Structure 1
Amino acid sequence: MAKSPFLESVRTEIRTRQYSYRTEKSYLYWVRQFILFNDKKHPEVMSNPEIERFLNHLAVNRGVSPGTQNQALCAIIFVYKHVLKREIENLQYKMTKTPRRMPTVLNPDEVASILGNMEGEYWLITALLYGCGLRINEALSLRVKDIDLKSRNLLVFNGKGRKDRYTLIPGNLRENMERQIDHVRSVHESDLADGFGLTSVPASLHKKYGPIMKDLGWQYVFPSSTRCIHPHAHHWRSTCRHCQPV
């Protein structure tokens, strides 16, 4: 299927601004849905009425959550502001509303029961989520360089809100993390011996420090079991081990 030149221009703008791959997929999905809903009209010939009808459709007919509706709105605003260079203001639409509920929190016994039924990397990932307060994508995006076992510091790079933060690794996970990093080292050495061993790095670093793509520190702490092409590898076409799929 031929790629849409307009959607490709949106993709380029998203990557230029170094948004996450998850955001890229989300924005492209909602822009595509917006266009299809409006009989495939080009966004350039549409304005507030079409945007409002689409947002109302999401709230009334599809019953999406407030977060989902806002995500669609952000994608559309991004297109008009950064791709079409137009400001969209004074939108009038029905906002999705859901009642506030108290979050469900697992007690220590329930957490222990869950961890007791897991093993290997999945156990360690889940233990990090619980012990370090990580989100799933933050755990899966960890690099070896982000882990300081001596001080037990863990760097969350480009986390929620594209912000960095430090957190502490629980003492009882230290040995498990050491074994995991040893595993990554072994896999990486094997890949290097086979002529592979590259990993994905931010585009700006790739241009300046290409060789770091083979550095152990930049390898994922939880690499995939198979080699793959990174979805952002538009400037280099090399096989690497991306993080575990969600």
Structure 2
Amino acid sequence: MAGSPFIESLRAEIRVRGYSLRTEKTYIFWIKRFILFHGKRHPRDMGPEEIKAFLSWLAVSRHVAVNTQKVALNALVFLYQKVMHRQLGELGFQPARKQRRLPVVLTPEEVFKIINQLSDRNQLVIQMLYGSGLRISECLRLRVQDICFSSLAVTVKDGKGNKDRITLLSKHLVAPLQEMVNLALAVQKTDNEQGLGPSLPDALGRKYPNAFRSPGWMYIFPSSTLCPHPLTGELCRHHLHDTVIRKALQAAVRASDIRKKISCHTFRHSFATHLLQSGCDIRTVQELLGHNDVSTTQIYTHVIGQHFAGTTSPLDRFQLLK
């Protein structure tokens, strides 16, 4: 199925509409799963009933999370309504169980214990996740022009939901981040001498052929190797792959002997929780995280117990009777 005319035409349609590469991979993954589930039948020979069966199977047999089922639904809606121009109507599938899971959050002491197990670039990345509330993909895609050292601001371009936002930059990271920028620009200079440079978004490279020489477009955390551009095939330097940081983080967690399920995203959760604990307004935290709805941000009030509004355990009342 990989490389089939249908899949390649679908890929082309996604790219024409300007969707991100991550969305492209996700949509194609779920559409392939849908086709395989129905014995490799072509989507044109299927419709609402087959979609309903597939989505219900994900919920009942695979026990996927509600958000996973939603992503699969979005992929199939895109296929049928945007590409094949067929309206699906009411599907009536079995919804996945909506489970509210509280995010794992570290204490400030645990954050610094883990950070101290890291060094150089890996330490700086984790510090950025915690200090600015970034997702790992957002951090590694930062370019030189996205950092404003004078106003201590980080601009996140094309974040989740294709949104831009501005978040905080810790003053403690100014010096190490400037050093990292200088190292990245040195890499860019070497690449430029060979007529190469950083990968560029969308059609920017065609519109501005020399943009790869501009310092502003250089990744702050560049990959150590060159690779073909995923869209154009031209040789370029992409940003560091997230698996490099994830592996370094897991080693640091083991060394710190903290027995929590910790990932790169844990530091974003900790950023939000610690801001709320310090008295920061929830709307401000919402903006810094880039959440569309404040209800998404409110999960952190449950982590710190703010939703109790001062309520005490009934057992504590026995203290008053003594």
> Is the TM value for this pair above 0.5?
yes
- Deviation digits for residues 124-183 of structure 1, max 9, x if unmatched? 111111000111110011111111222222110011211111112100000011000000
User: Where does the alignment leave 5 or more consecutive residues of structure 2 unmatched?
Assistant: 243-322
Aligned residue runs from structure 1 range 171-210, under 5 A = 171-193=171-193, 195-210=194-209
1:56 and 1:167 map into 2 onto residues whose CA distance is 39
Contact 1:196–1:239 (CA under 8 A) maintained in structure 2? no
What is the aligned partner in structure 2 of residue 228 from structure 1? Answer: 227
- Deviation digits for residues 51-78 of structure 1, max 9, x if unmatched? 0111111111111111111111110110
Contact 1:196–1:240 (CA under 8 A) maintained in structure 2? no
**Counterpart residue type for residue 238 of structure 1:** E
1:218 Cα deviation after fit: 0.7
Q: Does 1:242 align with 2:241?
A: no
**Counterpart residue type for residue 212 of structure 1:** A
Contact 1:153–1:168 (CA under 8 A) maintained in structure 2? yes
* Structure 1 vs Structure 2 CA RMSD: 1.4
Aligned residue runs from structure 1 range 51-130, under 5 A = 51-130=51-130
1:26 and 1:134 map into 2 onto residues whose CA distance is 21
SS of the equivalent of 1:161 reads: coil
Return the structure number with greater relative CO, CA threshold 8 A, min gap 6: 2
Q: Percent identity?
A: 43
Between 1:196-205 and 1:16-25, the stretch displaced more is 196-205
Instruction: Point out the structure with max Rg over C-alpha.
Output: 2
**Counterpart residue type for residue 26 of structure 1:** T
- Count of residues in correspondence between the two structures: 242
What is the aligned partner in structure 2 of residue 156 from structure 1? Answer: 156
User: Where does the alignment leave 5 or more consecutive residues of structure 1 unmatched?
Assistant: none
- Deviation digits for residues 88-135 of structure 1, max 9, x if unmatched? 110011111143232221110010011011111111111111000111
1:86 Cα deviation after fit: 1.2
Distance 1:62 1:212, change over 3 A: same
1:2 Cα deviation after fit: 6.4
2:100 and 2:34 map into 1 onto residues whose CA distance is 28
1:99 and 1:31 map into 2 onto residues whose CA distance is 25
Contact 1:7–1:28 (CA under 8 A) maintained in structure 2? yes
Return structure 1 stretches of 4+ with deviation > 3 angstroms. none
What is the aligned partner in structure 2 of residue 24 from structure 1? Answer: 24
1:5 and 1:25 map into 2 onto residues whose CA distance is 16
